[in-house]
A and B are shown apart, each in its own frame.
Chain A
């Protein structure tokens, strides 16, 4: 190839790549998380290979230490990921409107509790029952998020404070309601759900060798699409994003900022509520008096951050963290301390601040260039 056909001196520059592409930063950060995670494993005298073989088993179902393939592990990977993806979407959606929704945990609990009651009290009509459960969970999550959104819009109460408080209210109200009113409830569980309320899907179950993965999967995928569609393809999404970028400018251009805030929190809450339904009707066959926070909502914050508050990013980050969660018992089985997954999780979240670091670096370099 003749030399002159090349463009004039376009040198490949890592810093440029990382300032231009948030996805590249996320990948770098995740790789760093695993590298440091491996170092920690080495430090405590264990073999990082075992950590990676556990992760391999989660993603492919292949158990390299025994030479057995079992698709159930893939199914369970998705089961562990679904609530994380949805809570990530919840956090990300609000973040696009400039809101910091710490309340996905509470919205998750609201959705879970509503679905539990519908599952136990609604007549067991095949095909309809579980749909009503999903709907109830969506609405309850939406309402719980909506409260914080409305308070913010109407009285400018910080959504950070209200959502944190609403998390605790949700937990204790859920415990009390379930224990006091759910059919057949004792101190930790209710009676069994009717089969018509479960999200089980025999086809997927068969495909994944008896994992608990079911119809929740479709709802999760649909949620990713809905997120993307609303944010990127609708007027509503535009007004939400505009509110997120600059509230005053949005107001000046005729966007109803207050209703945008409430709407955003309602939709955000619905995602988290759905996560609650999927865990409750997908992973359990009975209602629970929650023993405490289950942390899907809080981990969703990290998912959204690593996923760069986008739909597809939250999906990928949710699958990543779901993989870590799901690999935890497999790692323990290989004598890798379970804490390593949280270390990697934590490192990824800390390193994600590199993103801003690269921006600062790029700004600084730009300044140097203009000087010279």
Chain B
């Protein structure tokens, strides 16, 4: 009988696996003790094409490999994704048990879990990105001046609308979960726009989630239909919905743009040969922070500090990859960049500061806590 055969096969399979389970596993011993690192991410993982992806790139790059050819993954470096927030602490403790030289966590939602774990493992070195308030002797904290990078893409978006001769251009901003970090993106972007077009109208929306592209896509469609020309999303995986909608509309010859975040998302926006719906991207070089921490561990210079990655330190910037941007706009944005570095342009980082600026919108959903 067929079914009995299947059962026998199953039993044989189970037996085989049990036998295999008895075989000793011999991990290959590395000749030289290389620096080891574990990256811990939230549920979106390293395929978010954004924040976590950039952290991962920095790690892989440190070992002289590329994301597609990550041959040492599982030997000197690896990544563990937490499905729910209650897995943060066990994942941190597990990584500490497994004795990595450095453990990297990304994003402020990890701060509390890290604080608890780092106290229990005082000899374990940690890096947390985007947080500056943990303040423990074994934790390196990296923060970025996202408002400056966002200012630059705001300038680029406004200049492009101006160059295209759009009357009463409107701009959109889509955020993930509201909070002080995302507020920096939003207010910087708006200041950039207003520096070119002081009367431009800006709308904003928060998806309250980092992994729901469908929400951003629906919102982007509504806005594009209502005359918004450019949307900047700082929402992790959620933001990919904006790019998807912009691609769809550009294919239909509607003149709309998306702006990428964290990584250069030019490739994600490609809809036809050499044409991308992603006008530019606010580049936050998270990879600079992970590489910085790894080098510090390797060279024995690791110390508990808050390291700021700003425009001057090349921690943030913009992408000039899209040829549609044009040399004139690129030059103008580079000028603004030089002004920020020189200190002649000061970009507000909180909604409270920004609200005091002349003509700044007072009814945004941005939050400072």
Chain A interfacial positions (CB closer than 8 Å to B):
14-15, 28, 31-32, 34-35, 38, 48-50, 52-53, 56, 63-66, 68, 70, 72, 76, 79-80, 175, 186-189, 210, 212, 279, 283-286, 288, 291-292, 294-295, 325-326, 328-330, 332-335, 338
Judge whether A175 and B3 touch: CB under 8 Å.
no
Give the shortest distance, in Å, between A217 (CB) and chain B (any CB). 15
Give the shortest distance, in Å, between A100 (CB) and chain B (any CB). 25
Which of B12-20, B189-197, B311-319, B353-361 interfaces with chain A? B12-20
Which residues 10-31 in B have Cβ within 8 Å of A in the complex? Answer: 10, 13-14, 17, 20-21, 23, 25, 27
Judge whether A49 and B80 touch: CB under 8 Å.
no
Judge whether A14 and B85 touch: CB under 8 Å.
no
Judge whether A329 and B27 touch: CB under 8 Å.
no
**Is B222 among interface residues, defined by CB-CB distance under 8 A?**
no
Judge whether B3 and A15 touch: CB under 8 Å.
yes
| B112 cross-chain contacts in A, Cβ below 8 A | 189, 285-286
Judge whether A49 and B23 touch: CB under 8 Å.
yes
Query: Residue of B at shortest CB range from A46?
Result: B74
Judge whether A188 and B87 touch: CB under 8 Å.
no
- Given A15-B3, A72-B93, A210:B120 Cβ within 8 A: yes
Give the shortest distance, in Å, between B238 (CB) and chain A (any CB). 11
> How many angstroms from the CA of A329 to the CA of B80 in the assembled complex?
6
- Given A291-B177, A292-B209, A333:B3 Cβ within 8 A: no
Quick one: which of A38, A53, A188, A283 has the most chain B CB within 10 A? A188
Judge whether A70 and B179 touch: CB under 8 Å.
no
Q: Given contacts A294-B86, A329-B80, could you give 15 more A-B pairs where the C-beta distance is less than 8 Å?
A: A35-B14, A49-B17, A53-B25, A56-B21, A65-B27, A68-B97, A187-B179, A284-B85, A285-B112, A285-B116, A294-B84, A325-B87, A326-B90, A334-B74, A335-B74
Which residues 209-233 in B have Cβ within 8 Å of A in the complex? Answer: 209-210
> How many angstroms from the CA of A53 to the CA of B179 in the assembled complex?
40
Judge whether A49 and B20 touch: CB under 8 Å.
yes
Give the shortest distance, in Å, between A181 (CB) and chain B (any CB). 15
Judge whether B27 and A187 touch: CB under 8 Å.
no
> How many angstroms from the CA of A32 to the CA of B86 in the assembled complex?
29
Quick one: which of A34, A326, A329 has the most chain B CB within 10 A? A329
Which one of B20, B79, B84, B369 lies within 8 Å of A186 (CB-CB)? B369
| B179 cross-chain contacts in A, Cβ below 8 A | 186-188
| B73 cross-chain contacts in A, Cβ below 8 A | 335
Judge whether B82 and A333 touch: CB under 8 Å.
no
> How many angstroms from the CA of A295 to the CA of B43 in the assembled complex?
13
Closest 10 CB pairs of A and B: A283-B86, A335-B74, A186-B369, A332-B80, A187-B179, A329-B80, A35-B13, A76-B90, A329-B91, A187-B178
**Is B7 among interface residues, defined by CB-CB distance under 8 A?**
yes
Judge whether A329 and B94 touch: CB under 8 Å.
yes
Which residues 282-314 in B have Cβ within 8 Å of A in the complex? Answer: none
Judge whether A48 and B83 touch: CB under 8 Å.
no
Give the shortest distance, in Å, between A41 (CB) and chain B (any CB). 10
> How many angstroms from the CA of A56 to the CA of B233 in the assembled complex?
43
Query: Residue of B at shortest CB range from A72?
Result: B93
| B86 cross-chain contacts in A, Cβ below 8 A | 79, 279, 283-284, 294
> How many angstroms from the CA of A72 to the CA of B98 in the assembled complex?
13
**Is B66 among interface residues, defined by CB-CB distance under 8 A?**
no
Which one of B14, B83, B367 lies within 8 Å of A187 (CB-CB)? B367
> How many angstroms from the CA of A325 to the CA of B84 in the assembled complex?
10
Give the shortest distance, in Å, between A351 (CB) and chain B (any CB). 11
**Is B4 among interface residues, defined by CB-CB distance under 8 A?**
yes
> How many angstroms from the CA of A223 to the CA of B109 in the assembled complex?
32
Query: Residue of B at shortest CB range from A15?
Result: B3
**Is B89 among interface residues, defined by CB-CB distance under 8 A?**
yes
- Given A285-B116, A294-B84, A332:B79 Cβ within 8 A: yes
> How many angstroms from the CA of A326 to the CA of B3 in the assembled complex?
33
Query: Residue of B at shortest CB range from A326?
Result: B90
| B17 cross-chain contacts in A, Cβ below 8 A | 34-35, 38, 48-49, 52
> How many angstroms from the CA of A328 to the CA of B369 in the assembled complex?
33
Judge whether A64 and B89 touch: CB under 8 Å.
no
Which one of B7, B91, B109 lies within 8 Å of A14 (CB-CB)? B7
Judge whether A330 and B94 touch: CB under 8 Å.
yes
- Given A49-B21, A65-B27, A329-B80, A70:B97 Cβ within 8 A: yes
Which residues 305-350 in B have Cβ within 8 Å of A in the complex? Answer: none
Query: Residue of B at shortest CB range from A65?
Result: B25
> How many angstroms from the CA of A243 to the CA of B82 in the assembled complex?
42
| B80 cross-chain contacts in A, Cβ below 8 A | 329, 332-333
| B138 cross-chain contacts in A, Cβ below 8 A | none
| A291 cross-chain contacts in B, Cβ below 8 A | 85, 109, 177, 208-210
> How many angstroms from the CA of A64 to the CA of B25 in the assembled complex?
8
| B10 cross-chain contacts in A, Cβ below 8 A | 28, 31-32, 35
**Is B81 among interface residues, defined by CB-CB distance under 8 A?**
yes
Which one of B38, B98, B177, B208 lies within 8 Å of A66 (CB-CB)? B98
Query: Residue of B at shortest CB range from A335?
Result: B74
Judge whether A338 and B109 touch: CB under 8 Å.
no
**Is B78 among interface residues, defined by CB-CB distance under 8 A?**
yes
Give the shortest distance, in Å, between B327 (CB) and chain A (any CB). 41
| A70 cross-chain contacts in B, Cβ below 8 A | 97
- Given A31-B10, A285-B116, A338-B81, A333:B208 Cβ within 8 A: no
Question: 28 interchain pairs (CB within 8 A)?
Answer: A14-B3, A32-B10, A35-B10, A35-B17, A63-B97, A79-B86, A80-B87, A186-B179, A187-B178, A187-B179, A212-B89, A212-B90, A279-B86, A284-B85, A284-B86, A286-B112, A288-B85, A291-B209, A291-B210, A294-B84, A326-B90, A328-B83, A328-B87, A329-B82, A329-B94, A332-B81, A333-B80, A334-B74
Query: Residue of B at shortest CB range from A75?
Result: B90
> How many angstroms from the CA of A334 to the CA of B98 in the assembled complex?
11
Judge whether B83 and A333 touch: CB under 8 Å.
no
| A189 cross-chain contacts in B, Cβ below 8 A | 112
- Given A14-B3, A189-B112, A49:B25 Cβ within 8 A: yes
| B91 cross-chain contacts in A, Cβ below 8 A | 329
> How many angstroms from the CA of A328 to the CA of B81 in the assembled complex?
9
| A76 cross-chain contacts in B, Cβ below 8 A | 90
> How many angstroms from the CA of A152 to the CA of B84 in the assembled complex?
33
Give the shortest distance, in Å, between A45 (CB) and chain B (any CB). 12
